[in-house]
Chains A and B, each alone.
Chain A
Amino acid sequence: MTEPAAKAVEVVELGKNYGPVTALKSVSFSIESGRYYALLGPSGGGKTTLLRLIGGFLRPSAGRIFLHGHDVSHLPPNRRPTSMVFQNYALFPHMTVERNVAYGLKLLRVPASDIRDRVDRMLAMVGLVGYNRRMPHELSGGQQQRVQLARSLVLERDILLLDEPLASLDAKLRKDMCLELKRIQEKVGITFIHVTHNQEEALTVADRIAIIADGELVEEGSARDVYETPNKRFTAEFIGDNNVLEGTVSDVSATGATLDIGFAKIEVPAPAASISTGERAAFSIRSELLRIAGRDEDIGASWQVVPARYVEDVYLGLTVSHLVQLPDGTEVVARVMSDSGDNGRFEPGDDVAVGWPANRARLHVA
């Protein structure tokens, strides 16, 4: 037909209403072919709606969807080059594992011997060799999701949609399945679009992440960028464990801005932001970058330091969170590895200083 398109998915001003309720406002973005893409956001934010629109399970109220350059907005799910893995309950309970996986091939009238081969190959890929004759209710939750994955992958469609595929699994299993999904995606090389509300899951599997909230695309970028240098305040609050402080811009220079947060003036790098003096703005800093020291200790040369009062520590296993209160009453958190020597130095009520590398703070315009 046409030349191969680099964009697997392109969504233009896509919107969806349910009567008076708007689930998705007007979202535009594109996904390159062969990526593992995560749609991350809080529940009810519209990410599942977006996925189901791409899959053809919902009809858009506005906008268009292009898959590999073709407008598919008018097509039902079975005529799109997509396949979907659901959260749960989606295996056909009256069919064996084998028949579940073979179902789509049967509809395509693939010869029976081919079907057997392809089903076996797929079951091997998802690690379920020999489970052919089991019924879905004889499988664990993780195994059921593997069967779903096989059922979708066997069709060799170009785009795989995963709607909270791991949400009903326990934490340990979810971690294993994440790595498994990543491995499978790298092996088959097709585009995966994975919806989740779990940031750890998204960071583990995805090359790129889109943050979706309140029916809007908040931010989109590589997993590392979204985690380390979020542009939007919402992203900073949603991903990782960030401290967000608000203030007024008091000075703007070529490389950064100075934020007046009441009791201190903070230098924040702002390479491309267009802000002007007097505007309200905020900055965020990840809690693992914060360090707490005594008032007169020298933390570091290029560090931004403010006075604070020690509140308490909370043991979280791998890390310990230290809570301190700034002069204006806001509380910030510093996370330290549990086995480092920095724990237990202060008592609640102690006067301390808290600091962070000045160049790691990120400015968020309101």
Chain B
Amino acid sequence: MTDRGRDIPAPPARWKRLVGEDGIQKWVFYIPVVFFILFFAAPMALTVVWSVFERTQFWMEPGFTLFAYENFFTSARAENYVLSMLHAAAAVVISFVIGFPIAVFIRRRVTRAAQHRVILLFILPFMISELVRVFAMRPVLGRNGVVNSVLMELGILSEPITVILYSPLGVIIGDVMSFLPFMIFAGFLALEAVQNYIFEVCDDLGTGRVRLFADIVLPLAAPGIFAGSVFIFVNSMGVALVPTLLGGPGAVNAGLIANQAIVALDFPLAMAISTIMIFTLVLLLYIGHRLFDLTKILEPIS
């Protein structure tokens, strides 16, 4: 090996540097960012602009008018919007009560190796079309559906209960059935980041169940619970399918109001509703971030 360094190539030509690792190859990694700014962030931001455009017969034209907002706030839409917020809040609370204990149970009482398999059980229903799952609530909750026939068969009911379908209650049930798994995922992910020794220390100190839950589990899982709650909340408000299929006559939520505006070719109104929805979401996320520091959720993947 007398001629050491014989393999060292000369500096590459300029064009080669252009496609090399500092040239185009480096910019390839920006494709997703550009794509999401162009086709997600930009449309969302422009929604605000379009919401103040003038409505024309089939489309809209540039201008500044708050007519769409006036239209929204002075009609039954505002009232329906608030009502759908209440329904969504109810769905969040019910999902938390049903789902979060399951997340805690999986984290604390299931062996490490089996935890992800148990979580898979909850991914399975989520993988089946929401459309189908919501639709399937009809034969289950209907007047002569499963719930009523079983309860009547058992003699618990003498009359079928009709309040659980084509009613606000039906919408809430549909939302819970659709989005419950998310509370379990989010709660579990947040708890997974909690080290085992924390629970052991609590056992050692003799922390009672209630205190353990209130002082340890809840604060540590708060960012995850919050993320899950926001997800359920905005989707309960925004997915038009549920009130369409399970709500009674006139049942709407924010998504359905926007959808109806599109169908009526009132694009500025649809954009105004989207804007209000997006602002609701951003406000919620901002509050949550101030309270719980949502960046903590990212810890397991960084």
Contacts and interface: CB of A to CB of B under 8 A. Distances in A.
Nearest to B7: A81
B8 A80 contact: yes
Contact of A75 (B1, B4, B5, B9): B9
Contact of A67 (B3, B5, B11, B12): B5
Q: Which of B5, B6, B12 has the most CB of A within 10 A?
A: B5
Contacts of A74: 11-12, 17
Interface stretch (A1-9, A252-260, A276-284, A285-293): A1-9
A5 B9 contact: no
Contacts of B195: none
Contacts of A69: 5
Interface in A12-42: 33
Interface string A125-160: 000000000000000000000000000000011100
A70 B9 CA distance: 9
A76 interface: yes
Contacts, number: 42
A72 interface: yes
B11 A68 contact: no
B70 interface: no
B5 A70 contact: yes
Interface residues of A, number: 23
A298 interface: no
B18 to A, nearest CB: 13
Give the size range of B's interface with the partner: 10 to 19
A79 interface: yes
B8 A81 contact: yes
B10 to A, nearest CB: 8
Contact of A79 (B1, B2, B4, B9): B9
A158 B4 contact: yes
Contact of A70 (B2, B8, B17, B21): B8
A71 B1 CA distance: 20
B2 A4 contact: yes
Contacts of B3: 1, 4
Contacts of A75: 8-9
A243 B257 CA distance: 81
Contacts of B5: 1-2, 4-5, 67-70, 81, 158
A76 B5 CA distance: 15
Q: Which of A1, A76, A156 has the most CB of B within 10 A?
A: A1
Contacts of A4: 2-5
A190 B12 CA distance: 27
Nearest to A76: B21
A112 B9 CA distance: 26
A158 B21 contact: no
Interface string A57-100: 00000000001111110111001110000000000000000000
Interface string B1-33: 111111111011000010001000000000000
B16 to A, nearest CB: 11
B28 to A, nearest CB: 16
A33 B7 CA distance: 16
Contacts of A71: 11
Interface string B138-167: 000000000000000000000000000000
Nearest to A69: B5
A158 B21 CA distance: 24
B4 A1 contact: no
Nearest to A190: B1
B30 to A, nearest CB: 18
Nearest to B10: A70
26 contacts: A1-B3, A1-B5, A2-B5, A4-B2, A4-B3, A4-B5, A5-B4, A5-B5, A8-B4, A67-B5, A68-B4, A68-B8, A70-B8, A71-B11, A72-B8, A74-B11, A74-B17, A76-B21, A79-B9, A80-B8, A81-B7, A81-B8, A156-B1, A158-B1, A158-B4, A158-B5
Interface of A: 1-2, 4-5, 8, 33, 67-72, 74-76, 79-81, 156-158, 189-190
Given A79-B9, A156-B1, 19 more contacts: A1-B5, A4-B2, A4-B3, A4-B4, A4-B5, A67-B8, A68-B4, A68-B5, A68-B8, A69-B5, A70-B5, A72-B8, A74-B11, A81-B4, A81-B5, A81-B8, A158-B1, A158-B5, A190-B1
Interface of B: 1-9, 11-12, 17, 21
* A-B complex: 5 closest residue pairs judged by Cβ atoms: A68-B5, A70-B8, A68-B4, A158-B4, A4-B2
